[in-house]
Every structure is written in structure tokens, then in C-alpha cells.
């Protein structure tokens, strides 16, 4: 089902909201502005329904938030240090959006654009977006697609594709925030398992200054399920950014059939498993969510939502030595990244 809102977006046209449904009764809504996941309502075993995503009461209020709630971000998700990189001997300067660094593609990234609907029905919506040469400082023209599907076994599948006419770093992801309890409470009561033996330390600006580190003996070890609160702020690396806001290099190495992470609600009644072809997951514990407009009432507080963003490691254009596929997309290649969020009532 496709609905146009009476409210108008910054381009003077209505927001177009697609509703996806499956045979199990799950309902997902997606918006063309920012190719944004707005809502994911999961039917529970006791016949109740849980809203699993953080969101805003309306699209125009969504525009006021700066947390990228549910949005598709690009050209390059996460941070690029000092907003520059060197490619094939040429240095490119990007538009900064977080101090001297660029975050999530720049101040006018893909989250602030209208994506065109190519096709949509009750089970899927396919969007496309064109980005011009020089957009936010990036070289070449880029065409991206974002394909959202809802399967009958309660999986939200998000597939990003892109092509370029000049070599350019490309790293697309969705910035959904989850709270599997279905209420405005502290997600540090959730249990998390991350199938990753290494993570990337960062400084106070979220920029990696050293290589990958072993999770053993640190608060970054989620190889066995544990409550997020268990080792919260245990490490100096967490204290620098007020919690978890780090990338883990996944053991699955891009295999969509292997789980990258599991999350359990505080009451253990809902589990979410993440699968992805991306090499890394950025786990963000919502450290700076305070003041973000909330769907039901008031505003969110810090740590009321968690993000698991599938992507290349942050600042990868400046670190070709890292053990992951090349983040540079060239004109004879197609970028492809698939992530699935599988909801399983317990």
C-alpha cells in the first residue's frame, strides 16, 4: 500500500510511505525521503504487537532529528577522517559534517534526499537515487538502489546496489535503531552476541587511530551473549564516546548464511538475528540520542535504542591495509550490500 502525506517535504512534494505486510502479520513502513525505515511491528506469541524501531510521530518531525533514525546513509557511511582521502594518486576533499570529519556522507547525504520509487507492492519497495559528480565532494556520478523486502518468516531484507562512472569509495547502510522491548526504556538491558573476534578502537571523535584490536579480555567481547550493561563503560575506549560506537570485523566474512549478531529483548520474548554480506557491523548503543523526538511521547534519552549498521570499517578509504574487501567502487563494478534483520518471537 502506498500513501501520500498531506505534509510536504522540503522539495514541496508529499512524503510517500509504503506499507509492507507478510502472512505472519508483521507490518513494516518505509518512506521515500531518505529511503527510511519508519516502523517494524512484530506480532508476538501472546498476540500482542511490538514496535521494534525508534521513530518520530510524523515525517515533518522526523526532519528535525539528527540521529539518522532508520535512514539510508551514503555515499560513505560512518566517518572519513579530516574529510579527505587519496585515490589513484589524487587527493579528494569532502564536505565536513562532524567537526573536521565527514559522517554518513556529508551534511546533505543520502538521508536528506528523496529516493524515487521504481516499484512497490505489499512485500517490497525498490528505490533509486542519482548523485551527481562532486556531490558532497565525491568524484563521479553515482546511481544507487535500495530494495526493502519483508519475508513471510519476519525478515526485513535491505539490498543496496550502486554504480559509478569514476572510481569512488562507496559504503551504504541503513541506520535503524532497535528497541526490542517495544517501549521507551534502556536498551542496555538487552542481550547481545556479536560474532567477531576483532574490533576497531577509535578516539573521542570516532576516528580510528590504530589498527584492529582483539576483543579478548575487554568490554568489547560479545562472542558469548551478554547484557549490554554488563561491561558498559568498562574500557577507556568506551569512555571516549560515552559507550559503544565501534565497528567489529565479522567472522562471517560476508557470508549471508552465517549470523553476524543476535539481540534479545530484556524480557527474552523477542530475538533478532542479523545477517549481512558486509565485512563489519558498527554497534552504536545510542549514546547521544537524548533530545531526539520520540514516536509516542516526548523525546528519547540516551541508550534507548541500538544500531547495528552493516558496512565497511570506518575511514576505510584511508586504510587500504585493513583485511576486508576494497571499499573503492570502479566503473566496471557493481556495489552490492545485503543485510537481513530476522525477528523471532520466543
Task: Extract the C-alpha cell encoding 299.
Answer: 523525546
What DSSP designation does 278 have? S
Q: Residue 264: how many CA atoms within 13 Å on its side-chain side?
A: 12
Sign of the dihedral through C-alpha 176, 177, 183, 189: positive
To which residue does cell 509516542 refer? 296
Task: Select which of 51, 159, 190, 309 is catalytic.
Answer: 309
To which residue does cell 547525504 refer? 109
User: 155-164 and 142-150: which strand pairing?
Assistant: antiparallel
Q: Residue 330: how many CA atoms within 13 Å on its side-chain side?
A: 4
210 is catalytic: no
Task: Extract the C-alpha cell encoding 29.
Answer: 513502513
Q: How far apart are CA 44 and CA 54, in angstroms?
A: 18
- Counting every residue, how long is the chain? 346
Q: What is the DSSP string of 50-103?
A: EE-B---SSHHHHTT--S-TT-EE-SB-SEEGGGEEEETTEEEEPPPSBTTBEE
Residues 6+ apart with CB under 8 A from 304: 54, 179, 184, 185, 186, 187, 286, 289
For residue 163, the SS3 value is strand
Q: How far apart are CA 200 and CA 318, in angstroms?
A: 14
Using CB atoms within 10 Å of the CB of residue 185, give its burial: 0 to 12 exposed, 13 to 18 middle, 19+ buried. Answer: middle
Task: Select which of 104, 147, 175, 262 is catalytic.
Answer: 175
175 is catalytic: yes
To which residue does cell 585493513 refer? 322
> How far out from the chain centre does Cα 301 lie?
19
Sign of the dihedral through C-alpha 198, 285, 307, 34: negative
Contact by Cβ (8 Å): 216, 209: no
Positions marked active-site: 175, 309
Amino acid at each position: 500500500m502506498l500513501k501520500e502525506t498531506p505534509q510536504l517535504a522540503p522539495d514541496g512534494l508529499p512524503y510517500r510511505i509504503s506499507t509492507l505486510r507478510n502472512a505472519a502479520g508483521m507490518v513494516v513502513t518505509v518512506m521515500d525521503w531518505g529511503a527510511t525505515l519508519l516502523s517494524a511491528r512484530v506480532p508476538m506469541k501472546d498476540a500482542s504487537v511490538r514496535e521494534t524501531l525508534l521513530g518520530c510521530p510524523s515525517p515533518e518531525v522526523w526532519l528535525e532529528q539528527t540521529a539518522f533514525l532508520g535512514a539510508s546513509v551514503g555515499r560513505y557511511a560512518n566517518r572519513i577522517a579530516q574529510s579527505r582521502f587519496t585515490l589513484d594518486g589524487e587527493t579528494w576533499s569532502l564536505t565536513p559534517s562532524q567537526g573536521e570529519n565527514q559522517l554518513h556522507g556529508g551534511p546533505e547525504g543520502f538521508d536528506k534526499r528523496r529516493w524515487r520509487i521504481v516499484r512497490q507492492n505489499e512485500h517490497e519497495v525498490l528505490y533509486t537515487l542519482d548523485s551527481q559528480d562532486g556531490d558532497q565532494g565525491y568524484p563521479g556520478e553515482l546511481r544507487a538502489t535500495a530494495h526493502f523486502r519483508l519475508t513471510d518468516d519476519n525478515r526485513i531484507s535491505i539490498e543496496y546496489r550502486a554504480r559509478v562512472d569514476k572510481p569512488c569509495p562507496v559504503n551504504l547502510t541503513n541506520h535503524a535503531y532497535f528497541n526490542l522491548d517495544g517501549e521507551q526504556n534502556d536498551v542496555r538491558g538487552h542481550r547481545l552476541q556479536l560474532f567477531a573476534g576483532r574490533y576497531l578502537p577509535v578516539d573521542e571523535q570516532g576516528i580510528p587511530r590504530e589498527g584492529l584490536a582483539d576483543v579478548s579480555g575487554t568490554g568489547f567481547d560479545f562472542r558469548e551473549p551478554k547484557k549490554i550493561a554488563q561491561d558498559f563503560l568498562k574500557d577507556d575506549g568506551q569512555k571516549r564516546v560515552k559507550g559503544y560506537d565501534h565497528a567489529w570485523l565479522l567472522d562471517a566474512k560476508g557470508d549471508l548464511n552465517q549470523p553476524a549478531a543476535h539481540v534479545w529483548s530484556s524480557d527474552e520474548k523477542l530475538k533478532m538475528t542479523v545477517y549481512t554480506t558486509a565485512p563489519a557491523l558498527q554497534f552504536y548503543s545510542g549514546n547521544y540520542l537524548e533530545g531526539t523526538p520520540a514516536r509516542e511521547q516526548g523525546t528519547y534519552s540516551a541508550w534507548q535504542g541500538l544500531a547495528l549498521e552493516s558496512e565497511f570499517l570506518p575511514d576505510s578509504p584511508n586504510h587500504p591495509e585493513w583485511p576486508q574487501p576494497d571499499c573503492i567502487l570502479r566503473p566496471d563494478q557493481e556495489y552490492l550490500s545485503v543485510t537481513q534483520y530476522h525477528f523471532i518471537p520466543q
